[in-house]
């Protein structure tokens, strides 16, 4: 599957982020906890440079918890702080602020030594579409100011938001990169909803999702769709047809594919992580 998507507003957003990053103390880089590597825009390292950052693994309630722990350990090994959160429910927000304060404490201590009055942390929220940047902001300020939506590309412009006395946050539009060198990255982004469905072949994405779930998370997948062990051995096209029939879609495989993708994305078919962390957790 060859997926390409780089609309003009993303190129503009990249230029704006590059211009504004010097104004912030720290970068909040949001990733999807189900694809912590594939949802990291490779051009962001160049843009962020040496600026302090926290990688925020959002939607961690939908991800494999063991893999999430491994990804936090991996990023820490790389010298990057990482915090899993569930922005929709506000889980992990306190830990995120504590981590940001910890990272920036030496900077603010130096400012205090020079007699400079303390001020709020200035942060930039950055990441690809549909990782939850707007939802994160709404949880910080406890009311709906940033526009949210379960589809990529909702935030179209940069905006500064004052979040109490502790934080000033610059929200930015989601930025995808021009080309997915690895087709698997495009498939992972498509399955988790980072790419607009209107440019996708939904049946192909559904079959990709079936292949992943039946291979790595067969128990939860089988339970959701009432599949036997023998049925799990069927090919992905046959499984899509079977699930379509059982859900009452008959031969409307397009609707069945949309339903199946929704249930995988929303966690109804079980928690999953598509990127496997290159690190082992220490034995307890």
Angle among Cα 41, 76, 152 to the nearest 5 degrees reads: 25
Binding residues for GTP: 58-61, 130-135, 174
Which has the closest alpha carbon to 168: 5, 28, 2, 8?
28
Nearest CA-CA partner of 177 in 189, 168, 193, 165: 189
Strand, coil or helix: 38: coil
Alpha helical stretches, state H, 114-267 = 133-141, 183-192, 202-216, 218-225, 229-232, 236-246, 253-265
pLDDT digits (tens), the chain, 284 positions: 555 544 555 566 677 778 888 889 999 999 999 999 999 988 888 888 899 999 999 999 999 999 999 999 999 999 999 999 999 999 999 999 999 999 999 999 999 999 999 899 999 988 888 898 888 888 887 755 544 445 444 444 567 788 778 888 887 777 766 556 778 888 999 999 988 887 778 999 999 999 999 999 999 999 999 999 999 999 999 999 999 999 999 889 999 999 999 999 999 999 999 999 987 776 65
151 three-class SS: coil
Architecture (CATH level 2) of domain 8-171? 3-Layer(aba) Sandwich (3.40)
Annotated binding site: 58-61, 130-135, 174
Token pair 């201590």 is at which residue?
Answer: 109
The domains of the chain are located at 8-171, 201-265
pLDDT digits (tens, 9 = 90+) for 82-124: 999 999 999 999 999 999 999 999 999 999 999 999 899 999 9
Which pTM value belongs to this model? 0.87
User: pLDDT tens digits for 204-226?
Assistant: 999 999 999 999 999 999 999 99
In the predicted model, what is the mean pLDDT of the chain? 86
Please give the Cα distance from 70 to 134 (Å, whole number).
Answer: 26
Give the separation between CA 244 and CA 226, rounded to whole angstroms: 12
Round to whole Å and give the CA distance between 183 and 2. 6
């Amino acid at each position: 599957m060859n997926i390409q998507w780089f609309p003009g507003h993303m190129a503009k957003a990249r230029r704006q982020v590059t211009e504004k990053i010097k104004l912030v103390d720290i970068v909040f880089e949001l990733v999807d906890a189900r694809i912590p590597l594939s949802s990291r825009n490779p051009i962001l390292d160049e843009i962020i440079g040496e600026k302090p950052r926290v990688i925020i693994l959002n939607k961690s309630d939908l991800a494999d918890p063991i893999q999430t722990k491994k990804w936090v350990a991996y990023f820490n090994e790389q010298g990057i702080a990482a915090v899993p959160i569930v922005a929709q429910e506000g889980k992990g927000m306190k830990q995120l602020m504590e981590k940001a304060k910890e990272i920036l404490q030496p900077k603010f201590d130096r400012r205090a030594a020079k007699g400079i009055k303390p001020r709020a942390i200035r942060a930039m929220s950055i990441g690809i579409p549909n990782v939850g940047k707007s939802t994160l902001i709404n949880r910080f300020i406890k009311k709906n100011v940033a526009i949210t939506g379960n589809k990529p590309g909702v935030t179209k412009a940069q905006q500064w938001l004052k979040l109490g006395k502790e934080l000033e946050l610059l929200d930015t539009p989601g930025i995808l990169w021009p080309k997915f060198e690895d087709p698997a990255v495009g498939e992972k982004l498509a399955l988790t909803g980072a790419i607009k469905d209107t440019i996708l072949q939904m049946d192909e994405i559904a079959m990709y999702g079936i292949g992943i779930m039946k291979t790595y998370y067969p128990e939860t997948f089988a339970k959701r769709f009432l599949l036997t062990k023998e049925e799990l051995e069927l090919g992905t096209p046959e499984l899509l047809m079977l699930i379509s029939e059982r859900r009452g879609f008959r031969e409307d495989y397009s609707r069945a594919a949309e339903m199946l993708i929704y249930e995988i994305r929303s966690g109804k078919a079980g928690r999953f992580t598509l990127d496997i962390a290159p690190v082992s957790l220490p034995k307890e």
